[in-house]
A and B are shown apart, each in its own frame.
Chain A
Amino acid sequence: MQSFGHSVQRNSRVALAFLERNFNLTKRYWAWELVWITYNIVNGISVTYIAAGANAVIPGFHISQSQLNTAILVLVIGTAVWSYISTCFDDVAMLFTIEKWEGTLEYTFMAPIKRITMMFGASVYAVIHGFVLTAIQLVVMAMFFHIDLSQANFWTAIIILLLGTASFVGFGFITSVLPMLFTEYGDKMGFIVRSVILLVSGVYYPVTVLPKWMQTLSAISPATYVLDGLRRSLINGQPIWQMWSSVIILIISGAVSIPAGLWVFRKGEEYAKRTGKLKRNG
């Protein structure tokens, strides 16, 4: 019944609601934001020094400076992309945890918005937040390391990152239901999901070093393809058509995880409404 124009307007207003709300929350809880940025940057720098120090760790081991620079670049990209993924994922996954703390959950659920609109609204903020944070991290890391991006194909990198985002949003949305179902431990479960993605997706090392059974998990983690695609585009300057298999997998993964996220979310919402768990104190 609703025209397309109305629906676009409706979606952008809800996106704006989340955007403005989260921006205001960030402003008032700026110390948390500072902690998160600092944590990510310090973590990125520390991990990247592992590559920088490779020659000094093992006596007699020597690789050339240009090889070292490649290793450094691999870690710079890995840590920066991980900051993006975890920020994006957390923003969506924590959507209702925050509201549960504040006690606003019932009011958000009473508003006449479709869940897909809610998901869209939350992800617009998540993407912007993720991009800004990663950009800051890269600028700071460039002061510490020699980062050579002269070969980079930025368009490919951005397309891959955005394609991957669809999957992270879907996964995040699934995770966001947990605090509604498990009043006490729900938000902690989000950490577990995230740390497993970190383990299997080749953020700091190639997934080939993992035990075979773990590589199955790598194969189904969209982050694996995003990291691989970004490294190939930024380090080797590969264009998008040379990684079409990753692109297809990311499209499929996004196309599956967004509806899956919505489905799980609806089920979780229904369960919470049957058992009275939307209320602040369970």
Chain B
Amino acid sequence: MQQLLPDAKDPETLAVNRRIAEAQALTNGSQDALIISHVSKHFTKGSNGPLYYLKKMLRPSQKTPPHSHQRVIRALDDVSLNVKRNTIIGVLGSNGSGKSTLIRAISTLLIPDKGSVKVFDHDVITERDTVQRLINRVSVEASFFRRLSPIENLMYSARLYNVPGSEARKQIHALLDRLGIRKERRNHPIEDMSRGMQQKVAIARAFLTSPILLLLDEPTTGLDPRSKAEVQQFILELRANHDATILLTTHDMDEAEALCDSIAIIDNGRIAALNTAAELRKQIGEEMGLSGPATLHDVFMWYTGRAWKDDDDEDDNE
């Protein structure tokens, strides 16, 4: 069993440790935090009005069917990925490359067309409840009840995850202290907070349930440099003390390099590269004919640079 929080005497820490132990028990000692095998997912965009279906019905035998406004987007294309327990993996890729879709497929919010996702040996579709107990997620959009206060929003989450009320309340305050949300802001509607502050509350929400697989979708986007550093420190502590495995997406190359044990680059829904940052930099340095390693920025450009003519759907995603 992993080392738990250092100072395990105060009741909050004990409660958190108890919940981590409960989660650990559900993993059956599996060392594979995440096994993604051959996952594909497509979306159909746009919709045809009733006229389209009427035309189709009236003239079913026509050679050229009526013009359809639907487009098919391959968001994930045969993605396979293994993540070892207690490591941090970074997923990098251009806008619209499928990072958030991948995270949704792991968080039981999307059912893949093909392939399977296993979290500590539990299938995300057939063992949904168990998987959900083990994971939590931070998304780019903060996603709260706007008019409710941070405390009210977080209490709601805690109760859904079966955390007793009094325990949750103490832990919420401890987390918000840690994230630098001032006491007097905690009981006012969250919509009055700045985007960065909301993002911190979203981070608190994910940490609150003591997940051992944490999915962080651009968790530090919109944070000031100090807050960013604090959140990064927090993430490292979770791995060190909470037996947490973390999958993180980011557009910040320094962050990826500082935090991640390994890096996956996803391009057009496919895994284009998977290795440690150092190894990727070395490889691309060689490919580029440099004397030393390339930067992670170069690596990103190398794998995501596609011909202009392919650049068809960089539209409305977050």
- Whether B132 and A111, one on each chain, are in contact in the complex, defined by CB atoms closer than 8 angstroms, is yes
Q: Is A21 an interface residue (CB 8 A)?
A: yes
**Does A107 lie at the interface of the complex (its beta carbon under 8 Å from any beta carbon of B)?**
yes
Q: Does B157 contact A (CB under 8 A)?
A: yes
Q: Among A60-68, A136-144, A165-173, A273-281, which stretch is in contact with chain B? A: A273-281
Interface residues of A in 88-124 (CB under 8 A from B): 102-104, 106-114
A275-B109 in contact (CB<8A): no
Contact partner of B152 among A21, A114, A270, A274, CB < 8 A? A21
How many residues on chain B are close to A (CB under 8 Å)?
Answer: 38
Could you pull out 9 A-B pairs where Cβ atoms are within 8 angstroms?
Answer: A10-B162, A17-B155, A28-B147, A103-B143, A108-B160, A110-B109, A110-B135, A110-B137, A112-B132
* Cβ contacts A241-282/B at 8 Å (1 or 0 each): 000000000000000000000000000001001111011110
Contact (Cβ within 8 A) B148 A28: yes
Q: Is the interface of A mostly helix, strand, loop or mixed?
A: helix
- CA of A46 to CA of B147 in the docked complex: distance in angstroms? 34
A29 at the interface (CB under 8 A from B): yes
Could you tell me which A residues sit within 8 Å of B by CB distance? 10, 13-14, 16-17, 20-21, 24-25, 28-29, 102-104, 106-114, 270, 273-276, 278-281
Asked whether A280 and B141 contact (CB < 8 A) given A110-B132, A110-B136, A111-B132, the answer is yes
B302 contacts the other chain (CB 8 A): no
Q: Are A14 and B147 in contact (CB-based, < 8 A)?
A: no
Q: Is B145 within 8 A of A110, CB to CB?
A: no
Which among B130, B133, B155, B316 has the greatest number of chain A C-beta atoms within 10 A?
Answer: B155
Q: B110 within 8 Å of A by Cβ?
A: yes
Q: Which 4 A-B pairs have the closest CB atoms?
A: A17-B159, A112-B132, A111-B160, A28-B147
> Which of A25, A109, A112 sits near B148, CB closer than 8 Å?
A25
Min CB gap B152→A, angstroms: 5
Of listed B101, B111, B160, B164, residue having the most chain A CB within 10 A = B160
Known: A104-B143, A112-B132. A21 touches B161 (CB 8 A): no
Query: Which A residues are CB-close (under 8 A) to B146?
Result: 102
- Partner of A13 from the list B137, B152, B162, B189 (CB cut-off 8 Å) is B162
- CB-CB < 8 A to A106: which residues of B? 104, 107, 109, 139, 143
| Interface flag for B166 (CB, 8 Å) | no
Contact with A along B94-126 (1 / 0, CB 8 A): 000000010010011111000000000000000
From A17, A107, A108, A276, B110 is in contact (CB under 8 Å) with: A276
B147 & A273 in contact (Cβ 8 Å cutoff): no
Residue of A nearest to B105 (CB): A273
Within 243-292 of B, Cβ neighbours of A (below 8 Å) are at: none
Q: Is the CB of A111 within 8 A of B161?
A: yes
Q: Which residues of A contact B111 (CB under 8 A)?
A: 270, 273-274
Contacts A20-B156, A25-B148, A29-B147 given; 13 further ones with Cβ under 8 A? Answer: A13-B164, A14-B159, A14-B160, A20-B155, A20-B159, A24-B145, A25-B147, A106-B104, A106-B143, A112-B130, A273-B108, A276-B43, A276-B110
Chain A proximity of B72: nearest CB distance (Å): 12
What CA separation (Å) do A20 and B148 show in the bound complex?
11
